[in-house]
Amino acid sequence: MHELSIAQGVVDICQQHAGGRRVLAVTLEIGTLSGVVPDALEFCFEASTSGTLLEGARLDIERVAATGYCRDCDRTHPITAYFDPCPACGTFPLEVRSGEELRVKDLEVE
């Protein structure tokens, strides 16, 4: 389960940027193609924050939908997997434009 190492990385990032203040909430952006399971990450986040500036912090997860750009159609379309064909013309491959995100978007501190 790689969500544990991701949660520990998020805790490290947040502590570095909290300026020694207690963290009240963290907002993460997670793309639908990132391979991260949000429920597992929430569980691991709670375990990873024990004894840190983030203990008791709320974790907000914003899902980012995946989109792919078709060069033949010159359009961007929603996708559900890396190798989805263009829904308009059937072209492969589409250039992934969003959905791979995994970032700390916001940090709320005391």
Q: What is the average pLDDT across 86-97?
A: 92
- Is the pLDDT reported for residue 1 higher than 90? no
Q: Are 25 and 57 in contact (CB under 8 A)?
A: yes
Least confident of 4-8, 57-61, 89-93: 89-93
Q: Are 109 and 22 in contact (CB under 8 A)?
A: yes
Please say whether the dihedral angle defined by the alpha carbons of residues 9, 38, 4 and 95, taken in this order, is positive or negative: negative
Domains of the chain, earliest start first: 3-65+98-109 (3.30.2320.50)
The rounded percent of the chain whose pLDDT value lies above 70 is 99
Higher pLDDT, 23 or 84: 23
